[in-house]
Amino acid sequence: MTSNGFPKDFLWGGATAANQCEGAYDADGRGLANVDVVPIGEIRFDVITGKRKMLDFEEGYFYPAKESIDMYHRYKEDIALFAEMGFKTYRLSIAWTRIFPKGDEETPNEAGLIFYENLFKECRKYGIEPLVTITHFDCPIHLIKTYGGWRSRQMLVFYERLCRTLFTRYKGLVKYWLTFNEINMILHAPFMGAGLVFEAGEDEETIKYQAAHHELVASSIATKLAHEIDPENKIGCMLAAGDYYPYTPNPKDVWRALELNRDNYFFIDVQARGEYPNYAKKAWERKGIKVEMIQEDLELLKNYTVDFISFSYYSSRVASADPKVNEETQGNIFASVKNPYLDASEWGWQIDPLGLRITLNTIWDRYQKPMFIVENGLGAVDTPDENGYVADDYRIDYLRSHIKAMRDAINLDGVELLGYTTWGCIDLVSAGTGEMKKRYGFIYVDRDNDGRGTLKRSKKKSFDWYKKVIASQGKDLE
């Protein structure tokens, strides 16, 4: 521990996801994925939730991920900037379709493997520890068309092949892995989360939980493989977190909050404890949800739980059992009743730093496994001056208050936290809306919602601020 309460080897850094920053969607043999064919605009929500089938680019829509911020060609410049801020870690994801363009090939695409190898080496050059999300929402389109995405058990074979390839090839270069980004997203945005599209009359709930089962087993298979290939490997699960509060002390509200929390913690209960919780089995029974599973699955789940628990945190949530309490927060896939005590971002995401401390404590109390905050930050409109400089004090305020909350959770509550990576450390495409305008970065990127701009990078005020935070190991937050 340092005098500030952060562990000496605390992993400070930032996070991105392949499709939101790389661009170069068809370079060097890369195949098409679900995350490529989600356009910006009103239709996006229906596409990411699987209500509107879009399995290819269609006329009349703009697809921001095609080019993104072109990090594929600019990663050296970008990693140099991360290093200048003093990053100890950089969280990024692998684009599955760079490695296996269709998903079911026997042999990987060497060009894709080389790309990430070079990227990891670039990180290592600066002493930056890569933290790698194996799948950040991406699923090859071919696997969706041919097998139905994660509803199919055959995905286990393809995912295992992907993992084996990655763990073997990057042994010694990468140690920290996350199996599925925001695994609970499958319930809220099933196309983006798991490559699911629904036909009329299908039992969507059953399909979602069947897909969830496959991902959970796949995650255990990955853990098993990772440890076999290199005992140094550490595997984490990843939850879109943020506890639900009851709207009032009415026990019905408290119960509703408990139920909604369980909908999310369900995934981590399996990944961290190794078995399906009774409440889920009972709920499936009541709802007539039959998830097909074999004995071997249950053994995998039991024997290969995760080493650590990672999560994203943007906001807490609120639950009410009263249908009259129906004023919801805007702009989030995770619907929540509005909390009258909190301010909100320009996109309606409510700001609750104490909620981060609460969430850290809930997770710690529930699992007693080391945690990693792998996403946190403020999506905001930035107005750069002629040099591309943004005085983003609002972002600094947001991050400062959340870092303080995390410090309290470590110091005052004794939770075990491995590190903190802010979301979108460089401006990138929003997953929820497809906008460029919703920016999270310390680094401004000249590009707008329509894809115009020079892609030039420039430092915001928060760049120097975060640099100071890291250099002082979290002591100097002013």
**In sequence order, what are the residues at sequence separation of 6 or more whose Cβ sits closer than 8 angstroms to the Cβ of residue 286?**
none
How many Å apart are CA 187 and CA 189, to the nearest integer?
Answer: 6
Cβ distance to ligand P53 smaller for residue 158 or 423: 423
Residues 466 and 2 sit within 8 Å (Cβ to Cβ): no
- Min dist. Cβ of residue 8 to ligand P53 (A): 28
Cβ distance to ligand P53 smaller for residue 132 or 301: 132
182 part of the active site: yes
Cβ distance to ligand P53 smaller for residue 109 or 312: 312
How many Å apart are CA 190 and CA 208, to the nearest integer?
Answer: 7
Cβ distance to ligand P53 smaller for residue 272 or 378: 378
- Min dist. Cβ of residue 156 to ligand P53 (A): 23
- Min dist. Cβ of residue 62 to ligand P53 (A): 16
What is the per-residue DSSP string for 344-381? B-TTS-B--HHHHHHHHHHHHHHH---EEEEE----B-
- Min dist. Cβ of residue 131 to ligand P53 (A): 13
- Min dist. Cβ of residue 240 to ligand P53 (A): 4
Would you say the C-alpha torsion 127, 428, 426, 194 has a positive or negative sign? negative
- Min dist. Cβ of residue 183 to ligand P53 (A): 11
Cβ distance to ligand P53 smaller for residue 314 or 420: 314
Phi and psi at 311, nearest 5°, equal -155, 160
How many Å apart are CA 312 and CA 74, to the nearest integer?
Answer: 26
- Min dist. Cβ of residue 379 to ligand P53 (A): 4
Catalytic residue among 375, 416, 435, 478: 375
Residue 254: count other Cβ atoms within 10 Å of its Cβ: 16
**In sequence order, what are the residues at sequence separation of 6 or more whose Cβ sits closer than 8 angstroms to the Cβ of residue 433?**
40, 44, 331, 347
Q: Count the alpha carbons within 13 Å of 194 in the hemisphere toward its beta carbon.
A: 31
- Chain residues in the site for ligand P53 (CB under 6 A): 17, 20, 181-182, 240, 312, 314, 332-334, 375, 379, 423, 430-433, 438
Cβ distance to ligand P53 smaller for residue 222 or 241: 241
Contacts 24+ apart (CB under 8 A), 204-211: 204/50, 205/287, 205/289, 206/289, 206/290, 206/291, 207/151, 209/284, 209/289, 209/291, 210/151, 210/291, 210/292, 211/149, 211/150, 211/151, 211/186
For residue 188, the Cα-to-chain-centroid distance in whole angstroms is 14
How many Å apart are CA 222 and CA 160, to the nearest integer?
Answer: 7
Cβ distance to ligand P53 smaller for residue 86 or 379: 379
- Min dist. Cβ of residue 376 to ligand P53 (A): 10
Q: Residue 151 is which amino acid?
A: R
How many Å apart are CA 423 and CA 314, to the nearest integer?
Answer: 9
Q: What is the number of the residue whose Cβ is closest to ligand P53?
A: 432
How many Å apart are CA 416 and CA 409, to the nearest integer?
Answer: 9
375 part of the active site: yes
Residue 38: count other Cβ atoms within 10 Å of its Cβ: 25
Catalytic residue among 22, 122, 129, 182: 182
Would you say the C-alpha torsion 309, 312, 313, 316 has a positive or negative sign? negative
The 3-state DSSP composition of the chain as helix, strand, coil percent (nearest 5) reads: 40, 15, 45
Cβ distance to ligand P53 smaller for residue 66 or 164: 66
Residues belonging to the active site: 182, 375
